[in-house]
Structure 1
Amino acid sequence: MVKAKYQHTSSLATTVEPLPNTLTVNRRRSSGSVQLVDYIQDGLDLEYYGGISLGTPAQQLTVDFDTGSADLWVPTVCVNCDGDLPETYFHTEQSSTYQQTERPFEITYGSGEVAGTIAKDTAELSGLRVTSQTLGAVNVVSQQFTNDPSSGILGLAFQGIAQTQAPPIVQQLHQALDQPLFAFFLSRQTQGAVLTIGSTDTSHYSGDITYTSVTTESYWEVQSTGSVVNGKTVGQGFKAAIDTGTTLIYIPTSAATALYAAIPGARSDPDEGSGMYAYPCASNPSVGFSFAGSPNVYTVDLRDFNLGPASEQDMCVGGVIGMDITDTNDEPLAIIGDEFLKSWYSVYSFDGPRVGFAKAK
C-alpha cells in the first residue's frame, strides 16, 4: 500500500458559507515543531504522522500532516467496535467546546474515502491554538484509512481546496508566527522526521533554500520546467503539487514516457501497475526535476527511485509513475511526494506564496 491523494471530490455545494475560526496563541512563542513518526512498511516510508490536541480538555491524537489536502478530519464513531471507542478516535462527548453541525463532510482521496459531518472545536498544534477550528467529524472510514497508524489527516494546503471551505489551521496560524512558513524534514527508513512551524531548522539541511513561486493557491502547486535524466532535460514542463501526504511521484504520462525513454533499456511494465516502468538495475540513472525560478536540478535519491526488483531479471521498478491528473484549473498536474522530499528539506511559505528546497541532511 502507498499513500496517494490526487483529486478530491466532495458532496458540499460551493455556495455554503464557511464556518468562522478564531485564532489565539496560548504560549509566548510563535514557532515550534512536531516530531513525526515514519511509518515504514515493506521497505517504503509510507507516511509521516505526529501529534495534535483537540477539544477541552485536550485529547491527544495523531494525524498525517498532508500538504496535498486542506481539511482536518478525525474519526468520531466506530461502527465495528465493541464497547468503548478506541483511544485513536476523538471522543466528542468528552469535549465541552465541541460544536456539531448538520452539514455533510465527505472526501475521496486516491487511497480511500471518509464521510461524516462538519464540526468545530479547539485545536492546538505545537503550542499554538485555534479555537472553533472547523474539522470533519468522521463516522465512515474506508478500509485503507482504518489500517492507518494515525487517527486522521491534517491538511496543510490552501483554503481553496478545503471541502469544509474553512481555512486550514496552519493558514490561520501563519499570521502569529515568527516567519509565515512551515517546513518538513522527512527521514529515510528511520525515525527523526520533523515538521517545523514558524522557522526553519538548519540542523536538517545544508546550503541555501532556493524558492519557486506557487502558481495556484490550491495545492502547494509550482511550475516544473521539466524532468532531468543524467543531467539532460527531457520532455516538457508541468505543474507539480508538492505533497507530503503521497508516498511516490506521479507525473503526466507524456512526461513519464520521455523520462524513461532517456534511460537505455527502460520499458513500460504494466504488470507492476498502471503507469509503471522498469529499467536496467545496473544503469543507476540520475533522475530529477527542475523548477521555475531556480537554477538547480533536484535529483531523487537512487535509494528512493529504485522500488525494487521487477519481474524480469536484472530489471528494477522505477519510482516515477505516469498518471494523468488535473489541478483545479483542469491543467495537467504532477504529484511530487515523499520519494522526492526525503532528499530535499521543503519549506512552504505564505510570503509569496512559494515553496523552497534545500539539500536535506
Structure 2
Amino acid sequence: MYTFERFYYFRPYRGKSNYWLNRYGEGAISSHQKATLYTATGAADQRLQVHKVDGGCQLISALSTDFKDETKMFGLNIYGSKAGSVCDFFPVYNNFDDALIDLLTVDAANSLYRIKLIKHNLYLTPASNANNAGLTWETASNADNQVWQLCASQSSGGSSGGDSTNSGGGVGPYGDYVYPTVSRKYSRTYSYSHPAMDIRDIAQDHNVYAIADGIVAYTQNSSGSWKPGTTSHDNTMESMGNCIAINHVNPFNGHSDNRSGAYARSIYMHMAENPTVRPGDTVKKGQIIGTIGTTGVSSANHLHFSISVGNGSSLAPGQTGWIQIKFLPDFNPVYAFPEYSL
C-alpha cells in the first residue's frame, strides 16, 4: 500500500517495464512540460508525491519548490479534456478538476494501481513500452500498460514500503538521500533554541537509517562516554544519549532554504542501543544505524534529528571528532524532508 505525502517512482506494465514515469525536460520544472517514460535515473524528475486532497489525491513532482504552497506544486495534469489528451505537469493551484486523481487498487500486495483522472474518467496510458514514450489520458482498458507499480526506490523490487536497505525510511525528494525514519510525525520542530526535529516513534518500523553515504564523525554512548578515536568534548552534550554523527557530501547542495554547501552532517540522538559504528567507519545510504529510543535527557521515545551544511573542512566526510553543535551551520530539516508533520 502507498502512504499519502510520501514519494514514489512509477513504472507501467504491472511493474515489468524498464522505463519510469518521468518529467521531460531539464532544469527547473515549468508549466506544460510533458510526462514520458524514461530509463531509471533516480533523479527528482522521476519521483512523485502522493498528496492527499478532498476527493482523491494529486501526484506532485519532486521538482516542486515548496510542498506546502500549491502555487509552487506541479502535479500530473491533462492538457485538454478528451481521451488522447497529453499528460503534462502544471501547478495544482486552482486546477482541481484537471489534476484530481484516484489510485485504483489492482494488487495492493505488489503495489499495483491504475491512475484515474477522476473528473474526466480517463486513465494514464503510455504510448508504448519504450524510452521517451509519451503519456496520454485514455478510456479504461484491461491492458497492462494502464497498470502502474509504485516503488519506494528504483532498486527495491517494487516494494512501496520504503524498508529496503536502498530506500531506508523512504526516498528523499531533492537528491540522493533517504528519510531517517519510517515514522512521519514529529513532536517538536526546528527553532533557534532547538535546531533539530524530534521525530515520534509511531511506526511499526522503529529503525533509524543513515540519510546518505558518509563517514562517521563521532559517536556517544548513553553514559556520555565516547568511542575510541574521538577527541574531548563539551560535557553539556551528554544529554544526547546514544548518538551518531555522520559527515556526507551534501545531497541537498544547490537548493534553496540554506541547503547550500559542499558538505553536510546528520546527527541522530537518543537512540536505544549503544552505537555499533565507530568514528571513521563508512556507512551507506539507507543503512540501519540504530533504533529510536529515549536515552540521555529524554521523556519519551523519539529521534532528535538535525542537519548542518557548509563548506568548512570540519564537515568534510573524512573528518572525525567532536565539533560543538552550536558552532555548526544548521538548517531546518523539514525543508529537506517535507513529508514530516505534527
Normalised to the residue count of structure 2, the TM-score between the two structures is: 0.29
Structure with the largest fraction of strand: 1
Bigger RCO (CA 8 Å, 6+ sep): 1
